[in-house]
Amino acid sequence: MKDFLNKLVNQQSLTLEEMHDATRQLFAEETSHAEIGAFLTALRAKGESADEITGLVNIIREKSLTVPHKLDHVMDNCGTGGDGSQSFNVSTTSAFVIAGAGIKIAKHGNRSISSKTGSADVLEHLGVSLQFNGEQMNELLEDNGIAFLFAPHVHPALKKIMSVRRELRIPTIFNLIGPLTNPMELDTQLLGIYRRDMLDMMANVLHRLGRKRAIVINGAGSMDEASLAGENHVTLLERGELVRFTLTPEEVGLPVYDNEIIKGGDAQENAAILYNVLKGEKGAHRDTVLLNAGLAIFASGTAETVQDGVAVAKESIDSGAALAKLEYLVNYSKKAHKAV
C-alpha cells in the first residue's frame, strides 16, 4: 500500500493492474482504517483516472454476490448522486416505466447518502424487500422485468470501507462508482453524473466494463439526472465510439420546469410521488420521468430517437404497464417475507 500511496501523492496514476492490487489490499483484514482513508484521500486529491475507476469496480464486482442470468439484454439506470438537488427519486420511478416498456432492468441502489431519500428507502416504504437472494433476483428479472439489488446486500465486503468513508466526510471515488458496481452483467446503461467534466471518462469506463451501448448524462443545473430546466449534456457510447450531444426538453416535446419544482422529501413523500407518477398523474414529476425513461429506452436501443423513447415511456405509464411492475414487486416481496 505504501508504494501505491507514494505514487498517488506524486500525482501519478495507477495502472489497471496496480489498481486491482491496491483494491484487494483495501479489502484485506490487515489493512487499517488509516491506510484506507489515506489511499482514498490521495486518490481524490490526484483525480481519478479511467483505469483506477475500472480497476476498483472490477474487484468490487469480483467480491460481490454472484447474480448470474441467462437473459439477452439487461440494463440499469442510476445516477451517482452528489448533485445537491434533493430531487425526488427520478431514476427509481423511471425504472418501472422502462420495465413497463419491456426492457429488463436490474435496478441497483442504496439508502440515502447524498439526498434525503435513496432508492432503497422509497422502495422499502412501498413494501419492496431489500433482501432478495440471487435466485429471487433472477426470477424477478425474468418474470417481472425488474429486480432491485440493494447495494449493502450484494456488496457485503464493502462494510469496512464504507465505515472509513463515513469517517472521512469528504467525497471519494466511491461517490462516483455506485452505478458501476451492479453485480449483474449489463448490456446497456443510463448513468447520470453530477460532474460534467467526467462524461467521456465515465462512458469509457462503461465500455471497459462491457457495455455495448450506454448514455452518460449531466443535466441542466449539474443534476445527475436529465433535467427539464434547460440544456442537458450527453455522451452516447455506441460500439466503443463516443457521440456527444446536448438535449433540451423542447426538442422532445416536453415543457420546461425549474429544478426546484421536482425537489422531494422523506421516504413517505417520495413514495407518494413515485406511485402517483405511475398512476398517471400529470405535471413536472411525470414529465421529468418521461425524459429520463425516454433517454434510457433510447440508450437500450429500443427506440430510434430520444423523442421516440419519450413516446414509449408515455405508453408504459398510460397503459398501466409501469404500475403493474411495481405491484408485482411488492406482492412478490410479501410472499417472500411470509416464506421466511
Binding residues for anthranilate: 79, 110, 165
**Residues composing the chain:** 340
Backbone phi, psi, residue 245, to 5°: -155, 165
Distance, in Å, from the CA atom of 105 to the CA atom of 176, rounded to the nearest integer, reads 21
Residue positions forming the annotated binding site = 79, 82-83, 87, 89-92, 107-115, 119, 165, 224-225
- How far is residue 294's CA from residue 40's CA, in Å, rounded to a whole number? 36
Q: At what angle do helices 134-143 and 321-339 cross, to 10 degrees?
A: 150
Smallest CA-to-CA distance from 215 within 195, 196, 182, 243 is with 243
Q: Which residue ranges make up the annotated binding site for 5-phospho-alpha-D-ribose 1-diphosphate? A: 79, 82-83, 87, 89-92, 107-115, 119
Sequence-distant (≥ 6) Cβ neighbours of residue 308 within 8 angstroms: 294, 297, 298
> Which grid cell is 175?
461517490
Q: Which alpha helices (DSSP H) does the chain contain, by range?
A: 2-9, 16-27, 33-46, 50-62, 90-100, 119-126, 134-143, 151-154, 159-168, 174-177, 199-208, 267-279, 284-299, 306-318, 321-339
Binding residues for Mg(2+): 91, 224-225
Residue tagged 424487500 (cell numbers): 129
Residues β-bridged to residue 246: 233
